[in-house]
């Protein structure tokens, strides 16, 4: 903090001396209104281009900004907190509550929407601030400066403030992260590069939105393309084991059906059943369950029955609700026992179930 103040002080004295001699080589800060704004209830109307807008017209005029501004504020606040947390846990909920309270209280002094800033946080970081008490110190200094020192702010060159911020931001460029990302998971380079380039050419606000959208699309892609392992068990009775790793939700069920049908068609040896091992499936939904019911019908065309293995109770309930003819096993021994049952009795049970369903 002392170093930054010394730089600004020297530049201000230099600008004052040159100003007295009629030379103004720098763009100066200029006049700043002293004092703090008076407290008042947030206005429910305002004047724009010669016409008065009520609260509903103000909301209509703001449009999508009502959603975009809070989204950017929350994203930047959490990103700043994580950038300077040095590995400590960041409570995103607490950040949202604090940001909301600041904006609610700020509205009583007609403040614009506020959020943490990378530049100010970087200046705090290089100045040696190590706790949130730094914000209290900064706030007290701002109040004192607005009440006593505003006449002297006139001579502060804007370039000196820019220099302080630029030097502080240099240490925020984490270029060392590129090499570990490239070695461990190159897919993480996609949101990194897209956000960086978007911020560079479109601005920080749009760049953050681009980064969020790209990251969400990547998450949706991997939810729709879970890792699925398929292997066959050659012991009698022969069966095909399909083990998805991840939640079975509606974007993934079509991919599962395509994978299973392709494996069944390519199988060299006829299998009597398809075993769906759900040991790594923590969650499913009804749409996915309906897709699985369609898969059961597809597999039955090949003369195979479907057995559900190692599924958690919520998954079992969801899948049985859409596909009651599923057989459920809790171990591979149980699978062998189910498949060793009389196939005629199995078909009879399926027929009686469908007949009972038609009656009701």
At 322-332, the pLDDT tens digits run: 888 888 888 88
Triad 21, 22, 26: Cα angle to 5°: 105
Does residue 125 share a domain with residue 63? Answer: yes
> Does 7 map to a domain?
no
Which CA distances in Å does 185 have to 178, 205, 208, 352?
10, 27, 21, 52
Last residue of a domain, one of 163, 195, 224: 224
CATH of the domain at 336: 3.30.750.24
Lowest-pLDDT choice from 106-110, 123-127, 278-282, 302-306: 123-127
Does residue 186 share a domain with residue 143? Answer: no
Q: Is the pLDDT of residue 110 over 50?
A: yes
Structure confidence at residue 233 (pLDDT): 78
User: Is residue 111 within 8 Å of 45, Cβ to Cβ?
Assistant: no
> Does 1 map to a domain?
no
Does residue 265 share a domain with residue 143? Answer: no
Which of the residue ranges 66-80, 112-126, 182-196 has the most confident prediction, judged by mean pLDDT? 182-196
Structure confidence at residue 270 (pLDDT): 66
Strand partners, 275: 241, 307
Last residue of a domain, one of 123, 154, 185: 154
Q: Is the pLDDT of residue 21 over 60?
A: yes
Does residue 185 share a domain with residue 115? Answer: no
> Does 170 map to a domain?
no
Q: Is the pLDDT of residue 356 over 80?
A: no
Structure confidence at residue 352 (pLDDT): 37
d(CA 271, CA 63): 59
pLDDT, tens only, 70-101 = 888 888 888 778 777 776 788 888 888 888 89
Structure confidence at residue 1 (pLDDT): 60
Does residue 232 share a domain with residue 218? Answer: no
Q: Summarize the confidence of residues 156-168 as an average pLDDT.
A: 85
> Does 136 map to a domain?
yes
pLDDT more than 70, % of the chain: 92
> Does 165 map to a domain?
no
Q: Is the pLDDT of residue 263 over 70?
A: yes
Last residue of a domain, one of 224, 244, 260: 224
Phi and psi, residue 312, nearest 5°: -70, 160
Structure confidence at residue 75 (pLDDT): 81
Q: Summarize the confidence of residues 259-274 as an average pLDDT.
A: 76
- Terminal C-alpha separation, the chain: 79
Does residue 35 share a domain with residue 128? Answer: yes
Does residue 233 share a domain with residue 350? Answer: yes
Structure confidence at residue 268 (pLDDT): 54
d(CA 269, CA 280): 27
Q: Can you give the residue range of the structural domain that contains 55?
A: 30-154
d(CA 344, CA 282): 34
What's the total number of domains in the chain? 3
> Does 132 map to a domain?
yes
Taking each helix axis as running N to C, give the angle between helix 313-322 and helix 286-301, from 0 to 180 degrees, rounded to the nearest 10.
60
Does residue 231 share a domain with residue 215? Answer: no
pLDDT, tens only, 37-66 = 888 888 888 888 878 888 888 888 888 778
> Does 275 map to a domain?
yes
Q: Is the pLDDT of residue 182 over 50?
A: yes
Does residue 318 share a domain with residue 267? Answer: yes
> Does 117 map to a domain?
yes
More confident residue, 315 or 64: 315
Does residue 139 share a domain with residue 59? Answer: yes
Q: Summarize the confidence of residues 243-267 as an average pLDDT.
A: 81
Which of the residue ranges 55-64, 100-109, 229-238 has the most confident prediction, judged by mean pLDDT? 100-109
Helices (H) and strands (E) counted in the chain, each on its own, are: 16, 7
Q: Is the pLDDT of residue 349 over 60?
A: no
Does residue 150 share a domain with residue 206? Answer: no
Does residue 346 share a domain with residue 243? Answer: yes
């Amino acid at each position: 903090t002392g170093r930054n103040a010394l730089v600004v002080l020297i530049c201000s004295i230099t600008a004052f001396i040159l100003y007295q001699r009629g030379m103004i080589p720098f763009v100066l800060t200029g006049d700043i209104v002293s004092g703090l704004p008076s407290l008042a209830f947030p206005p429910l109307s305002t004047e724009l281009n010669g016409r008065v807008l009520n609260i509903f017209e103000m909301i209509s005029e703001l449009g999508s900004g009502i959603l975009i501004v809070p989204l950017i504020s929350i994203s930047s606040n959490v990103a700043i907190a994580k950038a300077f947390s040095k590995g400590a846990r960041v409570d995103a909920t607490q950040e949202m509550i604090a940001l909301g309270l600041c904006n609610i209280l700020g509205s009583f002094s007609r403040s614009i929407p506020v959020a943490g800033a990378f530049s100010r946080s970087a200046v705090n970081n290089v100045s040696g601030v190590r706790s949130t008490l730094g914000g209290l110190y900064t706030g007290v200094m701002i109040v004192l400066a607005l009440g006593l020192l505003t006449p002297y702010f006139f001579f502060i060159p804007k370039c000196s403030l820019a220099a302080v911020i630029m030097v502080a931001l240099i240490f925020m460029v984490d270029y060392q992260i590129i090499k570990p990302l490239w070695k461990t998971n190159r897919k993480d380079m996609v949101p990194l590069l897209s956000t960086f380039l978007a911020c560079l050419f479109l601005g920080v606000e749009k760049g953050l939105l681009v980064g969020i959208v790209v990251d969400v699309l990547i998450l949706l892609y991997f939810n729709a393309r879970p890792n699925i392992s398929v292997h066959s068990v050659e012991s009698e009775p022969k069966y095909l084991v399909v083990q998805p790793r991840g939640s079975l939700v509606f974007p993934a069920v079509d991919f599962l059906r395509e994978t299973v049908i392709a494996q069944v068609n390519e199988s060299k040896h006829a299998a009597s059943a398809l075993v769906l091992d759900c040991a790594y499936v923590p969650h499913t939904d009804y749409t996915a369950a309906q897709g699985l019911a369609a898969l059961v019908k597809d597999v039955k065309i090949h003369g195979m029955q479907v057995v559900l293995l190692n599924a958690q109770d919520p998954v079992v309930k969801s899948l049985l609700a859409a596909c009651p003819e599923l057989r459920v096993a809790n171990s591979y021994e149980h699978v062998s026992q189910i498949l060793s049952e009389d196939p005629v009795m199995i078909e009879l049970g399926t027929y009686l179930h469908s007949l009972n369903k038609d009656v009701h």
